[in-house]
Amino acid sequence: MAEEQENLIPVFIMGKQYMVPAGLTIMKAMEYAGYKLVRGVGCRGGFCGACATAYRIQGDPKLYFGLACQTVVQPNMYLAQLPFFPARRATYDIARLEPTPTTLFSLYPELLRCLGCGTCTKACPQQIDVRAYMAAGMRGDIARMADLSFDCIMCGLCAARCPAEEGQYNIAILARRLYGRYLAPRSRHLEERLEEIRSGKFDAEIQALKNMSVEELKARYKARDIEPGD
């Protein structure tokens, strides 16, 4: 990393000003400023939701949200990490649920309190239409809620902003699990394969492979036929 760069810009980390190189992500800018992160950092690749960040830009009345590992710093950003935000989650046994609207409403009665204001959607760093999946949930449409919420990384920004005090992402994962277990079509070929393995169909072949010399294995490996891509 270039040490003495000319192109430094001011950012404010929890109100304190630091000069950091333009082009860094918020996370790398904080490290450049000297923070050794423990909270507010996880996968660093936009998948884990640990680094939810709220920010404002000087002179701009808007409030912005993003993932620190995915958002590039701008001059005069005021940054605050939101590494944790409490939200209620229900406890349940997925094997004993029914994939019905009643299940959603009884485990999460607050779902029906959603105001439909869309503040959650504005806050989502994944650009998920949270309001739309909550609306699907209120209609009891589990499949739609599961589909629309699929890219959720459970960072909690929606819950932090919600005036109706919802924990949207916890309701959404219930919908997805109900969909995955009960509503998605079952895979016949998978069931058949399990039966074949249980019946010992492949045991002899696997034993033979385990006992093969490397030379024999190489010959078998070279002779494999490769299934076409499509």
Partner 1 sequence: MSGYPPEMQESIRLVEATRPRRLKETFPTMTLEEREAILKAYHPDYKEETFRAIRVGVSKGQKMPLELADIVEGRPHIGPDFDLSDPIAETDVLVIGGGGAGASAALLAQENGAKVILVTKLRFGDANTMMAQGGIQAADRPNDSPAIHYLDVIGGGHFTNVPELVEALVMDAPFVIKWLEDLGVMFDKEPDGTMVEVHGGGTSRRRMHSARDYTGAEIMRVLRDEVRNREPDITVVEFSPAIELVLDDKGQIAGAVVMNLETGAKGYVKAKAVVLATGGGGRLHYQGFPTTNHYGATADGVVLAYRVGAPLGYLESMQYHPTGAAFPEQILGLLVTEKVRGLGAQVVNKYGEQFVYPLEPRDVESAAIIRECARGNGVVTPTGQVGVWLDSPMIDILHGPGTIQRALPAMVRQFARFGIDITKEPILVYPTLHYQNGGVRLRADGSTIIPGLYIAGEVSAGVHGHNRLMGNSLLEILVFGRRSGRSAALWAQQVRPGKPTLAHLERWNRELEETGVDTGVVSPILLPDYTRKQGYK
Shortest distance in whole angstroms from residue 18 CB to partner 1: 4
Q: Which stretch binds partner 1 (CB under 8 A): 15-23, 55-63, 133-141, 159-167?
A: 15-23
- Which sign does the torsion angle of CA 47, 63, 87, 13 carry? positive
Phi-psi region of 128 (alpha: psi -120 to 50; beta: other; left: phi over 0): beta
Site for partner 1 in 53-72 (CB under 8 A): 70-72
Site for partner 1 in 76-115 (CB under 8 A): 89, 91-95
Q: Which of 9, 22, 48, 138 binds partner 1 (CB under 8 A)?
A: 48
> Which residue's CB is nearer to partner 1, number 61 or number 214?
214
Shortest distance in whole angstroms from residue 32 CB to partner 1: 5
| DSSP E strand boundaries for the chain | 8-13, 16-21, 52-57, 64-67, 77-81
How many of the chain's residues bind partner 1 (CB under 8 A)? Answer: 79
Shortest distance in whole angstroms from residue 94 CB to partner 1: 6
Q: Which of 14, 63, 117, 184 binds partner 1 (CB under 8 A)?
A: 184
Site for partner 1 in 114-173 (CB under 8 A): 126-127, 146, 150-151, 153-154, 173
| DSSP E strand boundaries for 48-142 | 52-57, 64-67, 77-81
Q: Supply angle C-alpha 144, 145, 150, rounded to 5.
A: 100
DSSP state of 183: I
What x-and-dash track marks residues 189-228 binding partner 1 by CB under 8 A? xxxxxx--x----x--xx--xx---x--xx-xxx-xxxx-
Report yes or no: 169 and 87 within 8 Å, Cβ to Cβ: yes
Shortest distance in whole angstroms from residue 96 CB to partner 1: 11
Structure tokens at 202: 């492949």
| Cα radius of gyration (the chain) | 25
